[in-house]
A and B are shown apart, each in its own frame.
Chain A
Amino acid sequence: MGAGHGHTLHFHGHSPVHRAPAHLKVLALLGFMLVVVATPRDWYAAFAVYLAALIVVVGVSRVPPTYLLKRTVVEVPFVLFAVLLPFVATGPQTEVLGVSVSQHGLEAGIALLVKGTLGVLASLTLAATTEPQDLLVGLERLRLPQQLVQIMAFMVRYLDVVTDEMRRMKVARESRGFSARNPRHWPVLARSAGALFIRSYERGERVHLAMLSRGYTGRMPR
């Protein structure tokens, strides 16, 4: 699949994990994460088992671990929160490296890091091994309302079109010497956002008319 198609996280492959039906993968992710979240925070052995299971799945999928690890940056804001927890939480204090911190906060911070990281890794594995189209079919199998799946299908289909449009506006702004540095530049950016909305909305209207002229009656053909 060439650049610009699909989505940024998908890693092309033919492993059993790639070929597994998408609805099973979504259910597996949901079940796995519910179990992880419901596990008491001091069952460290259980978390080791979860991590091992995840590593096995990643290994079978043949997605390079570095590919996934690089993309765990989405987690960063909550790592910061987890690091702060021991210092803001109350309860009995303990000493870590000579610093007095809250016992509960420390445990909660570690648990948050562990559970959050497991969640991000598991979600990344799903995203890396599932094509958007397969995912939509899977969600439809899971009895998500048809209308909702259709909206998602249109969003996924036009995501690159709209973000590319925004990128072209950025290139156009910058080629005219604009660079946003402080809130004084917000009006320009907000006008870009406004123009992007008008273009997206009008594109939606054109798409709808094009669909009507091809016989669309409110349901997608099978």
Chain B
Amino acid sequence: MHVPDGFLDAPTSVATGVVAAAAVGVALVKARKELDDRTAPMAGLVAAFVFAVQMLNFPVGAGTSGHLMGGALAAVLVGPWTGLLCLSVVFIVQCLLFADGGITALGTNITLMGITTVAVGWLVFKGLQLVMPKRLSLTAIQAGIGAFVSVPVASLLFVLLYAAGGTADIPLDTLATAMVGVHVLIGIGEGIITFLAVGAILAVRPDLVYGARPILARRELEIRSTATKTTGASA
């Protein structure tokens, strides 16, 4: 759900625009470290993937369905800076070519659904990776938890922005309860789907998952020569 024009007042829109521009500027420099000269084609294709996956509807039941926002997913799959670039590009293209989300709210949309979900998703993922055992099978769970946390946090930030530049005086506690309540539910969906998708990718190409690389690097080459150990558990 994109914030349209006129939802927040002009100063707030401009301020979030400045925040978004600064974050994208930093991401442009940092993403080169994640992808070197592959940045343009890789980030472009991943952005197209994020756009497509947002069109994939997950039925909730009773005829309603939701879709992935993909911030935490992109961060875990391609790294936080590249992920942030991809999401920002998706929002710019949705705004300019698909009229989804207002142009004055572009900075707000990038700040809320790009920067916040990527940063929170990635930090939670990284934090869990530090404290939990270094096992590849846990990576998908950590990604799922990161995705789950990122959605209510983004909605809470929206409430704060609304408090600063909102256009109607809704009691803030009501708004916060409603927004966070709804987004905890949305976050559960986002978390489960991110968990399942990352798990599916880890099963096929674990080397593509940026967040799993530190764990893959810890693996040592095992050579099992004796025929008696054929049933040994693989890592």
Chain A interfacial positions (CB closer than 8 Å to B): 7-9, 26, 29-30, 33-34, 36-38, 41, 71, 74-75, 77-78, 85, 88-91, 104-105, 107-109, 111-112, 114-116, 118-120, 122-124, 126-127, 130, 132, 135, 145, 147-148, 150-159, 161-163, 165-166, 180-183, 185-187, 189-198, 200-201, 203-205, 207-208, 211, 216-218, 220
A116 touches B7 (CB 8 A): yes
A181 touches B44 (CB 8 A): no
Contact pattern, B 87-116, Cβ under 8 Å of A = 1, otherwise 0: 011101101111110111000000000000
A123 touches B43 (CB 8 A): no
A-B contact pairs, 10 of them (CB 8 A): A26-B96, A37-B5, A75-B4, A118-B6, A119-B102, A151-B43, A162-B51, A190-B196, A190-B199, A200-B46
Chain B interfacial positions (CB closer than 8 Å to A): 1-2, 4-7, 9-10, 13, 24-25, 28, 37-49, 51-53, 55-61, 68, 77-78, 85-86, 88-90, 92-93, 95-100, 102-104, 167-171, 174-175, 189, 192-193, 196-201, 204-205, 208
Report chain B residues within 8 Å CB of A200.
Answer: 45-46, 48-49, 52
B59 touches A155 (CB 8 A): no
A90 touches B96 (CB 8 A): no
A166 contacts which of B52, B68, B175, B200 (Cβ < 8 Å)? B52
B52 touches A163 (CB 8 A): yes
Cα distance A186–B24 when bound, in Å?
33
Query: Which of chain B's residues has its CB closest to A191's CB?
Result: B200
Report chain A residues within 8 Å CB of B192.
Answer: 183, 186
A127 touches B5 (CB 8 A): no
Report chain A residues within 8 Å CB of B55.
Answer: 163, 166
B49 vs chain A, min Cβ distance (A): 4
